[in-house]
């Protein structure tokens, strides 16, 4: 027998329980009206008479309704209804599909350095967004279980049950958080933005070591970060400062942490551009640093794909022979003419299958690029990191991660581009992109230099 109804509020088909907290339970459900999956967060009926639990629950709903960030679940609605004979308060949230950092730790999943840096920087962006609100918003319970990694590798900060509005406050005495991840001042009900930064560092110390933060407490009761961590420098030193017992000894803001991460004197010997630790990255939300090269002026869409725009389309989405050349020939140092021989050889060896696959992939990419160039809205994006990858053709490519703003919302995305293009850029520079509002602000980079 389940502890949930088949349908709630005449629109939500409840599927299964997702989690249980101190005051609330969360269930996966299907919204039959909008045909989407949602997470239903329900104030535990046994806590319904607890005014403090109800206050925290209402505050979470009120705060989340005001937020719009890809690293924070969206609130669709709040509703009160019958739940197996009891009246309950429910928040219908965006369902975040993925694994939590806690699950990754439990599975002993190994994340490489660029992946760890990506998660860390993205979460700094979330905290910068929260702490920059007027008034500031504090999460107060950042821990491995409350960070979910989407299938695309981007993190989402969940469970805002301990959220606090700094200006309105809550009497200054509410203690919220989880032992091992919350700093001393939070036990006194005195959380600040640096308290969230402490919890973020404690979470990542657990992620990169596999051991909970209390394992690193010295006799004086302070966390000592090991000298050697798989994440390397400067992240190790930055985390050590974030975990200082006194708020005055920590970084004051997420932006300050970003500056410390990326304003290193020089890239260490032996560190390639595939690593995320590169200087000159601006703080999250700041404007562009520089923008080299030719900029394309785009008329309002829809546009005709001719002239300069047609040439750009051909460069962003090469044809079949250029793809063969890049994927199989040029990377091995042969001349262009060998491309034709390579194409014929592929056709013979694979009985014509591989060329068909390549033609299909090339056609799909060219159609995609055309749609962006015909209808996309141009803007600038700041490069956050560039990581080496191998594309489907077996050629070396670069995963370029970038961010841009749309109507005050910070959007982060990434694109796999050729090494020839990426080698012309540096982390911290700006590139020109186009995005499609009707596709959840999906975007592509159109800069060539």
Measured between alpha carbons, how far is 350 from 353 in angstroms, rounded to an integer? 5
Closest CA to 140 of 85, 73, 200: 200
What are the distances in angstroms from CA 124 to CA 72, 128, 287, 354? 12, 6, 16, 43
Q: How many CB atoms lie within 10 A of CB 101?
A: 23
Is residue 386 within 8 Å of residue 398, measured between CB atoms? yes
* 393, 415 contact by CB (below 8 A): no
CA–CA dist 143, 357 (Å, integer):
44
In this structure, are residues 108 and 204 in contact, taking their beta carbons and an 8 Å threshold? no
* Nearest-angstrom CA–CA distance, 124 and 197: 8
Catalytic choice (13, 44, 112, 141): 141
396-406 and 409-418: which strand pairing?
antiparallel
User: And the tokens for 5?
Assistant: 């109804």
Rounded Cα gap, residues 220 and 54, in angstroms: 38
Helix 113-131 to helix 254-262 angle (10° resolution) is: 150
What is residue 216's DSSP assignment? G
Give the span between the Cα atoms of 139 and 58, in whole angstroms: 15
What three-state secondary structure class fits 368?
A: helix
Is 152 annotated in the active site?
no
Q: List residues bridging with 403 in a β-sheet.
A: 382, 412
The residues annotated as belonging to the active site are 141
């Amino acid at each position: 027998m389940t502890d949930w109804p088949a349908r709630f509020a005449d629109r939500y088909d409840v599927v299964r329980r997702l989690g249980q907290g101190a005051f609330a339970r969360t269930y996966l459900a299907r919204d039959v009206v909008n045909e989407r999956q949602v997470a239903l967060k329900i104030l535990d009926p046994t806590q319904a008479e607890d005014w403090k639990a109800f206050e925290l629950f209402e505050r979470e709903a009120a705060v989340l309704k005001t937020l719009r960030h890809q690293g924070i679940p969206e609130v669709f609605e709040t509703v009160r209804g019958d739940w197996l004979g009891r009246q309950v308060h429910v928040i219908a949230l965006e369902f975040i599909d993925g694994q939590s950092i806690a699950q990754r730790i439990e599975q002993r999943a190994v994340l490489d350095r660029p992946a760890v840096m990506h998660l860390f920087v993205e979460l700094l962006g979330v905290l910068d967004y929260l702490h920059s609100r007027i008034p500031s918003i504090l999460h107060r319970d950042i821990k491995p279980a409350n960070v979910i990694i989407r299938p695309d590798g981007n993190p989402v900060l969940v469970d805002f049950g301990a959220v606090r509005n700094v200006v309105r406050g809550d009497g200054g005495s509410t203690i919220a958080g989880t032992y091992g991840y919350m700093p001393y001042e939070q036990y006194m009900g005195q959380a600040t933005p640096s308290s969230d930064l402490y919890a973020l560092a404690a979470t990542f110390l657990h992620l990169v070591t596999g051991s909970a933060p209390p394992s690193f407490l010295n006799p004086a009761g302070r966390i000592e970060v090991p000298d050697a961590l798989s994440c390397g420098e400067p992240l190790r030193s930055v985390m050590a400062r974030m975990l200082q017992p006194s708020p005055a000894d920590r970084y004051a803001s997420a932006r300050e942490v970003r500056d410390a991460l990326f304003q290193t004197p020089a890239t260490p010997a032996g560190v390639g551009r595939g690593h995320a630790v590169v200087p000159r990255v601006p703080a999250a939300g700041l404007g562009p640093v520089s923008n080299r090269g030719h900029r394309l002026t785009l008329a309002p869409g829809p546009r005709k794909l001719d002239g300069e725009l047609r040439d750009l389309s051909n460069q962003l989405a090469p044809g079949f022979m250029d793809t063969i050349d890049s994927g199989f020939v040029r990377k091995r140092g042969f001349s262009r003419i060998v491309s034709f021989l390579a194409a014929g050889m592929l056709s013979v060896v694979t009985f014509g299958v591989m060329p068909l696959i390549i033609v299909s992939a090339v056609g799909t990419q060219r159609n995609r690029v055309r749609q962006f160039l015909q209808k996309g809205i141009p803007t600038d994006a700041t490069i956050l990191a560039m990581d080496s990858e191998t594309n489907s053709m077996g050629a070396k490519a670069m995963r370029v991660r970038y961010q841009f703003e749309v109507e005050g919302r910070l959007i982060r995305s990434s694109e796999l581009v050729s090494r020839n293009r990426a080698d012309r850029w540096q982390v911290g520079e700006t590139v020109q992109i186009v995005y499609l509002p009707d596709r959840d602000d999906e975007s592509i980079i159109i800069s060539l230099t």
